[in-house]
Amino acid sequence: MKILSVNAGSSSLKFTLIELPSREVLISGLFEKIGMEGSCYTIKYNGEKTTKEASLPDHSVAVTKLMDELIENKVINSLEEIDGVGHRILHGGDEFTESILLNEDILKRIEKYNELGPLHNPANIMGVRAFMKVLPNVKNVGVFDTTFHQTMKETEYLYPVPYEWYEKYGIRKYGFHGTSHRFIYKTISEYLKRDDLKVISCHIGNGGSLCAIDSGRVVDTSMGFTPLAGIMMGTRSGDIDPSIIPFIMKKTGKTADEIINDLNKKSGLLGVSGISSDNRDIEEACEQGNERAILANKMYAQKIANYIAMYNNLLNGADVITLTAGLGENSKGMRKMICERIASLGVKIDDAKNDFRGEFRLITKDDSKIPVYVIPTNEELMIALDTMELIS
């Protein structure tokens, strides 16, 4: 069965064609600057990466061009070989508690949550409609970032604000990165052959979130009403005192929207270091003795460690801690800093085991009270698996 796993942005379309159940990636790529000048796309096939310029006035044209590439590269002989298309959708509110087959009525229901995910949801839906237009006979499935977190209890997902805000406006914690956290839990559970694990899943990349999971059910997660909450990230502030917002508005004359933009795009590692949101740049500056880069790195590791400690308490003792995404998978320095800051939990990092990038590995000593695993995430595969299950 051939499943396309798709993540559509406002001017982009990321795709992976996966053969199931073998899980073989047949081809992948990214269409960029859709509807803009200088549009192009990159295809990765047979270990080679090729970039081509192309006129891409809208997502439907990009999808048509994608179909042409699949046939020209002989990945498929006809469009009938595509069995399903799975779409990453950011926000399903508290209405969509699992992945779902998509049609126009469902899309209109999803659109109600566009105001909760204004940068992503409209683009995700645009991508779905483009595939529906080009491949009218192929089933489409929506896989939401928020669904995995819908098992949280009221004590965790409600904010201590007037209850009517929740009743009237849906003000609550939704959580994100759910597809990644679900994949990580599924992977470690299968590896350890246990379905009752208590796991602290740490998705730490340019965007980051932690998730406390007990026997496959989310107990709590660090992102909240929006992805701005939780730990410090590449350009996002994470948790701050909300009174800072009106204070800075008065001091600078900026609007609330401008301040929120600063908290989303000019804060975090970038804001503290003044250098970059990319941890590779931060680590290089640290090696050169840049004090603000060193400060940013220490703050980042400590924020993550604080959440791990809190979630360990919430779970009444975690069985496993997992690290994934850009930094979790590739930065041995950041992994070490985090583990050193949770030594009080009995975590003991093994420097020799930790000396690698991008692999599934245990990085703690045999006598570490809580084992820490690095697990490369694969949201595309999780989307494809959900799609296969629903269209079958």
Provide DSSP, 108-124. Answer: HHHGGGGGGSTTTHHHH
What does the alpha-carbon distance between residue 16 and residue 25 come to, in Å, rounded to a whole number?
Answer: 7
Residues forming the active site: 145
What CATH homologous superfamily does 2-144 map to?
Answer: ATPase, nucleotide binding domain (3.30.420.40)
347 Cβ neighbours under 8 A, 6+ residues apart = 321, 339, 364, 368, 369, 370, 372
Q: Which of 11-15, 60-64, 307-311 has the highest mean pLDDT?
A: 307-311
- Give the confidence band of 380 by pLDDT, cuts at 50, 70, 90: very high
pLDDT digits (tens, 9 = 90+) for 256-293: 999 999 998 899 999 999 999 888 899 999 999 999 99
pLDDT at residue 54, rounded to an integer: 87
pLDDT at residue 37, rounded to an integer: 84
Average pLDDT of the residues in 33-46: 88
pLDDT at residue 255, rounded to an integer: 96
Domain with CATH 3.30.420.40 in the chain: 2-144, 193-379
Q: Is the pLDDT of residue 164 over 80?
A: yes
- Give the confidence band of 130 by pLDDT, cuts at 50, 70, 90: confident
What does the alpha-carbon distance between residue 181 and residue 211 come to, in Å, rounded to a whole number?
Answer: 7
Q: Is the pLDDT of residue 10 over 80?
A: no
- Give the confidence band of 20 by pLDDT, cuts at 50, 70, 90: very high
pLDDT digits (tens, 9 = 90+) for 189-244: 999 999 999 999 999 988 899 999 999 999 999 999 988 999 999 999 999 999 99
- Give the confidence band of 337 by pLDDT, cuts at 50, 70, 90: very high
Report the percent of the chain where pLDDT is more than 90. 75
- Give the confidence band of 85 by pLDDT, cuts at 50, 70, 90: very high
pLDDT at residue 113, rounded to an integer: 87
- Give the confidence band of 35 by pLDDT, cuts at 50, 70, 90: confident
pLDDT at residue 117, rounded to an integer: 77
pTM of the shown model: 0.90
Average pLDDT of the residues in 2-20: 90
Structural tokens at position 16: 């992976």
pLDDT at residue 63, rounded to an integer: 87
Fold of 193-379: Nucleotidyltransferase; domain 5 (3.30.420)
Q: Mean pLDDT for the chain?
A: 93
**Full strand arrangement of the beta sheet holding 361-362:** 217-221, 208-214, 198-204, 320-324, 372-374, 361-362
What does the alpha-carbon distance between residue 110 and residue 89 come to, in Å, rounded to a whole number?
Answer: 9
Q: Is the pLDDT of residue 120 over 90?
A: no
Average pLDDT of the residues in 331-343: 96
Q: How many CA atoms are closer than 13 Å to the CA of 31, on its beta-carbon side? A: 29
